[in-house]
Structure 1
Amino acid sequence: MIQALVFDFDGLIIDTETPWYYAFQQVYQRYGFELPLSVYAQCIGTTFHDFNPYANLAEQAGVDVEVITRECKTAHAALMERIELRAGVQDYLKEAKRLNLKVGIASSSEYAWIEPLLKKNDIFHYFDTIQTADVVAKVKPDPELYVKALAALEVEGSQAISFEDSLNGFTAAKAAGLNCVVVPNEVTRHLPFAEHDLMLTSMSDMPLAEVIVKLSGSTA
């Protein structure tokens, strides 16, 4: 029986990922370079270990990485001014509480980034645990964030549903044994999500209760 939900944050609750890609694109093009989505996808939902878009452009353009970082963050901040919760997110959170489900976040981002955005959008109070990059040795695709979330919520992987938008997050959730609903955004919808349990274009596609029935065969 499903007892808990664990949400990713960036790109899933609030689509910060698409503005980041557009911000990087703007700055890359300003210097006469392109950033293919297939290349950028390597760092979606994880660290810059495999691909660092700041360092990559700085090296190509012969510019100090601090200058590139500042320009990209300025472009991203401007794009973020128009960003709201993704469709259906608040409905799922309200329904989860009505069904007495435990609710958590497992995010590769830092807590200092996530907390203000949760509070700004008045959804901080829905979460029973928030596991972030600050508390683990390895972020996604490593399953440690999800393992910690399950432990904090006191449930097994089979009793929880994860909601993810990125391939790295999906890989982490499946490795930790959770049921996984993929809700891709504009920059992740073309990624190869193999063996997902369910895929939605947004959480407004299907009521949470129906998702639970599809994944468990019973109501919460």
Structure 2
Amino acid sequence: MIQAVVFDLDGILIDSEPVWEEVRRAYVDRNGGQWQPDSQSRLMGMSTSEWARYLSGDLGVGKDPAVVAEEVIAEMGRRYEVDLPLMPGAVDTVYRMGDGYRRALASSSPRSLIDRVLDSAELTQAFEVTISTEEVARGKPEPDVYLAIADRLRLGPEACIAVEDSSNGLRSASAAGMAVIAIPHPSYPPQFDALALADLTLDNLSELTMERISSVPERD
């Protein structure tokens, strides 16, 4: 029986993927690098250290990855101060899930941005556990962050259901042994094979109800 709902942050609770793309693309261009056609899809789900190394090395920025991470995260923080792009119904959905399930959050965003978003949205107290991929060995699509969530909740992964949008996120949650609900972002749709891992696909957060969750078959 599902006991906990584990939310992704970027692309699920906040419409931040366009902001991440704009900020990182401009940063790469400004620092003499070359953005690639598949860069955004590859970046979605990477931990901070992973995407900083990718920008520094693969995309040719050339700065120390720690400096890359610091400068990009600072710019993201400034963007969020001006306009926090919450998804429609995000706050209501998170609190509504609390009527029947424990709630957690597994995000590839750095801890500083997770805390900023949850504080601004008044969601800090809604989540029993929040983990950034900064805090585990490997980012998505590896299962580390979802396994860490289940461990912190003292639940088996099969007792949790993840809500994800990206290819790497769907792969991560499925590899951890969780049931998976996909809410694809229309501008950044997941790859077909990743979407096929989802137990349920919804169009938006308003469709995420306790009845829909209870209809998802249990995983062994």
TM-score category, normalised to shorter length = 0.7 to 0.9
Normalization by structure 1: what TM-score?
Answer: 0.79
- Count residues with an aligned counterpart: 211
Unaligned runs of 5+ in 2: none
Q: Which residue does the alignment assign to 2:55?
A: 53
Larger radius of gyration: 1
What's the C-alpha RMSD, in Å, of the aligned pairs? 3.0
2:178 is the alignment partner of 1:178? yes
Normalization by structure 2: what TM-score?
Answer: 0.79
Q: Which residue does the alignment assign to 2:139?
A: 139
Unaligned runs of 5+ in 1: none
Q: What are the Cα deviations for residues 167-199 of structure 1, in whole angstroms up to 9, with x where unaligned?
A: 111111001111111122254215332221122
CA distance in 2: counterparts of 1:77 and 1:110, whole angstroms: 11
**Higher relative contact order by CA 8 Å / sep ≥ 6: 1 or 2?**
1
Q: Which residue does the alignment assign to 2:91?
A: 90
Q: 1:50-199 alignment to 2 at 5 Å?
A: 52-55=54-57, 56-58=59-61, 76=76, 79-80=79-80, 81-99=82-100, 101-192=101-192, 193-199=195-201
CA distance in 2: counterparts of 1:106 and 1:211, whole angstroms: 21
**1:54, distance to aligned residue in structure 2 (A):** 4.8
**1:128, distance to aligned residue in structure 2 (A):** 0.5
**3-state DSSP class of the match of 1:22?**
helix
CA distance in 1: counterparts of 2:128 and 2:77, whole angstroms: 28
State the identity %.
Answer: 25
- 1:88–1:74: structure 2 CA closer, same or farther, 3 Å change rule? same
Match of 1:202 among 176, 201, 204: 204
Task: Give 1:111's aligned amino acid.
Answer: R
- 1:160–1:73: structure 2 CA closer, same or farther, 3 Å change rule? closer
- 1:79–1:191: structure 2 CA closer, same or farther, 3 Å change rule? farther
Q: Which residue does the alignment assign to 1:215?
A: 216
**1:4, distance to aligned residue in structure 2 (A):** 0.5
